[in-house]
């Protein structure tokens, strides 16, 4: 629900139909076709059983994630799986390795949007790919994926960014700090932690995270924010973000209930200050925003289903209040595009409309 004039509130305020299965989360999987919205206006204030009434008027709108001319290719190469999005035009273009979080489904709509803004974007499947890998996925998997992207003829191989949310952000921090193969121009991390570095395989990382010894359950919802708290002082238990030599943009919500993201951001700031790299570290902290800071106008989900393993599903509390969370998504998206424009395209930030 919302009040006042909100041009896109019909999108970000969407809720499941009353009586729906609990824990649903709206995400677009098929980005090759638009998401269709049927908007109906009824007489009076109606909270349920509206599908049994006759609407005053109906209209249909489409939300596209791919601009005309954007191409999408499935990648199954050198053990790497994912989807590569190429902008229209001759290129070559700057490129972004796009890493989602711990969900077990490959999400491609952010990469499609990035390609629509002129960046090659590689949405990488790594969580689901764990079960296809005999030896386990380690940091090499992400390095190979980045090299595959860099080798594409339409990519400017020296203008590559890493972008991750949640677990994907932890991977980005690890790569930026320790990889001798990939040297990104810049990195974007959303709602992530530098605690529990990826030393060996991703499966071992998940095993440490999923122990749940600090997890809490309230109203049948799992709260994970304390898993990384208190922030350890031993550098061996964290990614040494002071080693990162490229601009880093960190986006966090102060109502993140899945991760102690604000505490992690503050500690990372101290670490970069100590290392003399504070000038490379940029933080956006959004009051009232939760963990799932997605592209703009995505519906806010304070809690939703989450697969801890292939056998165990829980309701995970992500946090956030709808209106401030929607603002965080819209504002951070604009600032991220400006950040990418500045560091990948060597251009001044775009003019705001």
Q: Is 166 a catalytic residue?
A: yes
3-class secondary structure, 97: strand
Using CA atoms, how far apart are residues 206 and 253, in angstroms rounded to an integer? 23
CA 159 to chain centre: 21
Which residues have a Cβ under 8 Å from the Cβ of 317 and sit 6 or more positions away? 218, 221, 222, 223, 224, 257, 258, 302, 303
Kindly name the residue from 116, 123, 166, 298 that is annotated as catalytic: 166
The whole-angstrom separation of Cα 159 and Cα 94 is 5
Number of Cβ atoms within 10 Å of the Cβ of 109:
20
Coil, helix or strand at residue 317: strand
Catalytic residue among 194, 291, 300, 301: 291
Phi, psi of 271 (to 5 degrees): -65, -40
Question: Contact at 8 Å (CB) between 320 and 292?
Answer: yes
Neighbours of 206 (CB within 10 A): 18
Closest CA to 125 of 139, 109, 145: 145
Q: Cβ neighbours of residue 176 under 8 Å, at least 6 residues apart?
A: 162, 184, 187, 244, 246, 248
324: helix, strand or coil: helix
Query: Would you call 191 a catalytic residue per the annotation?
Result: no
Residue 97 and residue 169: Cα distance in Å, rounded?
11
DSSP string, 3-53: -S--TTHHHHT--PPTTPPTT-------TTSPEEEEEEE-SS---S-GGGS
Q: Catalytic site residue 304?
A: no
**In this structure, what DSSP letter does residue 300 have?**
P
Catalytic residue among 256, 267, 301, 332: 256
**Would you please indicate which residues are annotated as catalytic (active-site) residues?**
166, 256, 291
């Amino acid at each position: 629900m919302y009040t006042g004039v909100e041009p896109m509130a019909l999108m970000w305020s969407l809720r499941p139909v009353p009586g729906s299965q609990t824990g649903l989360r709206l995400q677009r999987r098929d980005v090759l076709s638009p998401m269709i919205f049927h908007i109906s206006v009824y007489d009076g204030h109606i909270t349920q059983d509206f599908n049994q009434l006759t609407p005053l008027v109906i209209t249909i709108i489409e939300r596209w994630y791919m601009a005309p001319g954007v191409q999408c290719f499935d990648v199954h190469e050198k053990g790497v799986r994912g989807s590569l999005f190429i902008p229209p035009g001759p290129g070559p273009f700057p490129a972004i390795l796009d890493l989602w979080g711990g969900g077990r489904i490959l999400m491609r709509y952010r990469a499609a949007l990035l390609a629509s803004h002129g960046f090659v974007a590689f949405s990488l499947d790594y969580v689901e790919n764990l079960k296809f890998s005999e030896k386990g996925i380690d940091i090499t998997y992400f390095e190979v994926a980045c090299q595959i992207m860099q080798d594409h003829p339409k990519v400017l191989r020296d203008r590559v960014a890493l972008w991750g949310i949640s677990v994907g952000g932890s991977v980005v921090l690890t790569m930026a700090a320790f990889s001798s193969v990939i040297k990104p121009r810049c990195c974007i991390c959303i709602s992530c932690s530098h605690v529990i570095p990826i030393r060996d395989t991703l499966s071992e990382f998940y095993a440490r995270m999923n122990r749940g010894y600090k997890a809490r359950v309230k109203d049948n919802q799992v709260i994970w924010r304390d898993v990384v708290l208190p922030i350890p002082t031993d550098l061996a238990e964290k990614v040494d973000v002071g080693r990162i030599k490229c601009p880093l943009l960190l986006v966090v919500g102060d109502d993140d209930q899945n991760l102690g993201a604000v505490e992690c951001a503050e500690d990372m700031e101290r670490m970069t200050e100590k290392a003399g790299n504070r000038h490379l570290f940029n933080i956006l902290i959004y009051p009232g925003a939760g963990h799932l800071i997605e592209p703009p106008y995505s519906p806010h989900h304070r809690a939703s289903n989450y697969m801890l393993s292939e056998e165990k599903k829980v309701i995970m509390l992500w946090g956030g209040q709808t209106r401030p969370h929607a603002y965080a998504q819209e504002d951070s998206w604009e600032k991220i595009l400006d950040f990418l424009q500045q560091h990948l395209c060597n251009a001044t930030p775009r003019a705001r409309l």
